[in-house]
Amino acid sequence: MTGSASRIPAFDTDDIASIAEMLVQAGLETFELSGPDGARLFIKTSQAKPQIEARRMPSLPSQETDAVDNCVPVKTPYFGVLTFTHPLRSTPFASVGSYVKAGDVVALLTLETLQIPVMASVDGEVIEITAPEGELTGFGTEIMKIRTDSDA
């Protein structure tokens, strides 16, 4: 790495290891994070697991339903800081009790300036929020449950 030692921030190795593990779980090989002062963190992982194994994970958005109450979990397609409200608005995308349609944005994952939408995979009523807002959320994490319209 080029540059003076004073410009290189002190990164916690446990945090870097956690990020690297999330990259592997998401099927990604590299991650770059840069700060306003020009400091950069570049992580490259070796994909120890074959790509076929990564595809065995449930496809997102998940279509799995709970047979008891026709609930479908909404799972994150990536990792990032979870928010249920658009940064320029005060109302949440989908609160408990609201009705959503397949393809509606129900949350955002934020990585620095990148925002990744999390979308509902089915039509139905949001019955539970299962993940805390503002926390770093991993790939495939269930964030809410939607009760489908099975009577229609």
pLDDT in tens, 80-119: 999 999 988 999 999 999 999 999 999 999 988 889 999 9
Q: Span 22-37, mean pLDDT? A: 73
Q: Are 34 and 66 in contact (CB under 8 A)?
A: no
Domain edges within the chain: 5-54, 58-148
3-state SS, residue 127 = strand
Predicted local distance difference test score (pLDDT) of residue 44: 78
Following DSSP, what letter does each residue of 23-58 receive, concatenated? HHHTT--EEEEE-TTS-EEEEE----S-HHHHHTSP
Architecture of 58-148 per CATH? Beta Barrel (2.40)
pTM of structure: 0.57
3-state SS, residue 15 = helix
Predicted local distance difference test score (pLDDT) of residue 63: 47
Confidence category of residue 6, pLDDT binned at 50, 70, 90: very low
Question: DSSP class of residue 130?
Answer: -
